[in-house]
């Protein structure tokens, strides 16, 4: 299977990440939510004419997109939850990339 895919590389990266606490440069998660609300008005009395429909229906579609940024150690990890070793790595990266 590894001949056709990069499974070995992925497993190696996951292992290194878990063992050494490697950091990622950019991490974003895109979330898209679509909600459709349908409203129906039933039993309409059209008066003397009987040619109208017995119900009117309309739909409202709302789509929301949101981008969530991760910290360098992943998603769902707060800065307060980092170990002192992880904070020292981030500090060193900040100093080496700062001007």
Q: d(Cα 82, Cα 52) in Å, to the nearest integer?
A: 66
Specify burial of residue 94 (Cβ count, 10 A radius: 0-12, 13-18, 19+): exposed
Residue 91: which pLDDT band, with cuts at 50, 70 and 90?
Answer: confident
Q: What is residue 38's predicted lDDT score, i.e. its pLDDT?
A: 96
Q: How far is CA 28 from the centre of its chain?
A: 7
Q: 41-86, pLDDT tens digit by residue?
A: 987 777 666 667 778 899 999 999 999 887 777 777 777 877 888 7
Parse the chain into domains and list their residue ranges: 25-97
pLDDT at 2 over 60: no
Residues in the chain: 99
């Amino acid at each position: 299977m590894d001949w056709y895919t990069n499974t070995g590389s992925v497993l190696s990266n996951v292992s290194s990440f878990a063992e050494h606490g490697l950091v990622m440069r950019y991490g974003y998660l895109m979330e898209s939510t679509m909600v459709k609300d349908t409203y129906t008005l039933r039993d309409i009395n059209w008066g003397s004419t009987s040619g109208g429909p017995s119900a009117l229906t309309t739909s409202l579609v709302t789509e929301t997109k949101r981008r969530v940024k991760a910290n360098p150690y992943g998603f769902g990890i707060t800065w307060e939850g980092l170990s002192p070793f992880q904070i020292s790595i981030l500090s060193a990266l900040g100093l080496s990339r700062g001007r």
